[in-house]
Amino acid sequence: MKQHLTRRELLAGAGIGAGALLVGPARSLAASAPTGRVAVARCKTYGPELVPAMEKMFDQIGGLSGLVKGKTVAVKINLIGVRWQRLGNAPMEETFWTHPRAIGAAVHLMGKAGAKKIRVVEGPWSTPETLEEVMLSMNWKPQDILNAAPNVEFENTNYLGRGKKYSRFMVPSGAMIYPGYDLNHSYEDCDVFVSFAKLKEHAATGVTLSMKNVYGTTPVTIYGEGAGVDEPSVRPHGGRGGTFHFARRLPSKSAPQQIDMSLPKDAGYRLPRIIAELNSARPVHLAIIDGVKAATGAETNYGSRPQAAVNPGVLIAGTNAVATDAVAMAVMGFDPMAVRGKAPFANSDSMLQLGENLGVGLRDPSKNDIAGVPISEVVFDYTAVRDKILADRKKA
């Protein structure tokens, strides 16, 4: 047995009471982190109740007009994973992906609130296809989103896209893994950045909500398995796991490099930090979480945890990603203050805690302004669903 552990090895060994032992800023910036306003709404279907529920929720967090009027808005949706693999017969939008009607509703309300331009963005894994093409392949009607408001466009941010160069976002509050990230121009060419996520769990990071959704902003031409060594590749190839989850390869040299190559190669260590850094470098102005229909278990149908398509019937929106995700965790039956070793962070650090330490936001719901339906009335216990699946399997 190894006798002496370095500090980093100790950290990698994890969470062992984690919290206090976080590489990053010399001291936690939690004290200076902004509070957030978060609203919770009941919404059982993507039918006529959707727009009013969303509108009311936006009003409860201060209204969209002040945020988007006359502004260019980038809405990062979630179209994760291989689209050809569903969870049973359920369409992707009812499990892992942001639902097109929810996207359309948000776009419509932003347009109504006076947004100058709305660019719906996402880096669907490992493909250069336009977002229209990805949506068409799922039998969506992209025109419904494009026509939901004036000046709506799509951009696949997996690569350079319509930009001339990548935009650099430095982590202002102290790097833990990377000092900065190079992203598609869309994330700079916007006044308002919206993360529109799904109410999901994640095999490596416990949950995947509005903070984790920002992870998908990273272009695979730089951070993918097939990224260029020196410069970004022209075409996106491969997923981000090799670079981000396991540090099997480096990002293209043109991008900011890992601060220390001896850092742990454990996804449960790396991903929460990368996610917190990205949220610090490219802050979210409006977080929206689609929990009308979603899935338990992992965020794709490749997860090993018990998965089920579920209907929590809830929407959540907030002005701060950490605060919004904290409320979402509570809705999912988790403790937002959980640290490594406690569900849902059994094998990872808490990205919320790390975000808090970087000054992104506060995870303690009592420190944020929460409106709408009381959380206790909309709790949908993801663990209970998974436990039931396991129990049923045992019986079978």
Partner 1 sequence: MALNAESVPMRWPAGPLDIACGEKAKGFTAETAEVLRIWQDPASLAIVQGTPVNCLVVSWAAGLPADADQPAALKPLIEKGRQAGLGFVGVIAGQADKPAAVASAQAAGLTAVAMDGGAPASAGIPVIPWNKASQVRPAAKSPVVGISDGIWPGLPQAASQAGGPTNLPWVDSNGAPVLIVRTLAPDKTVWIAFDPPQQKLPAEAYVLAVADAASYGAKWVISLDDQLRADLAARKQPAADVWKKLNETLAFFDQHKQSRTFQPDGPLAVVSNFSGPNWDAAEEAINLFPRIRQPFRVIARSRAMGASFAGLQAVLYVDQEAPDAALRQKLIAFAQGGGTLFVPSKWPNPEGLPLTAEPYLMFNLRKLGNGRLAVCKDAQPDPSDLVDDIQNVISHRNDILRLYNAPSMNFLYETSAQGGQGVIHLLNFSRRPGSDGPLFYVKEPHKSARLVSPELASPAELAFARQEAGGAELFLPKLSVYGAIELEK
The answer to whether residue 81 forms part of the interface with partner 1 (CB under 8 A) is yes
Residue 33 carries which side chain, given as an amino acid letter? A
Q: Quick check: 39 and 316 in contact, CB under 8 A?
A: yes
> Segment near partner 1 (CB under 8 A), from 32-40, 134-142, 204-212, 288-296?
134-142
Can you tell me the distance from the alpha carbon of 118 to that of 149, in angstroms, rounded to the nearest whole number?
8
The answer to whether residue 215 forms part of the interface with partner 1 (CB under 8 A) is no
- Residue whose C-alpha is closest to residue 208's, from 391, 76, 73: 76
Among 8, 44, 116, 235, binds partner 1 (CB under 8 A): 235
Among 129, 153, 188, 381, binds partner 1 (CB under 8 A): 129
- For residue 300, the minimal CB distance to partner 1 (Å) is 5
- DSSP string covering 140-209: --HHHHHTSSSSEEEEETTS-TT-SSPEEEE-TT--SS-SEEEE-GGGTS-SEEEEEEE-EEETTTEEES
- For residue 335, the minimal CB distance to partner 1 (Å) is 28
Q: What are the b/e assignments for 309-346, b being 16+ CB within 10 Å?
A: bbebbbbbbbbbbbbbbbbbbbbbebebbbbbeebbbe
> Segment near partner 1 (CB under 8 A), from 69-77, 102-110, 119-127, 382-390?
119-127
- For residue 75, the minimal CB distance to partner 1 (Å) is 21
> Segment near partner 1 (CB under 8 A), from 10-18, 184-192, 229-237, 361-369?
229-237
Among 27, 66, 84, 394, binds partner 1 (CB under 8 A): 84
The answer to whether residue 89 forms part of the interface with partner 1 (CB under 8 A) is yes
The answer to whether residue 365 forms part of the interface with partner 1 (CB under 8 A) is no
- DSSP string covering 127-143: ----HHHHHHHTT--HH
Residues engaged in binding partner 1 (CB under 8 A):
80-82, 84-89, 125-130, 133, 136-137, 139-141, 159-160, 225, 234-236, 238-239, 300-302
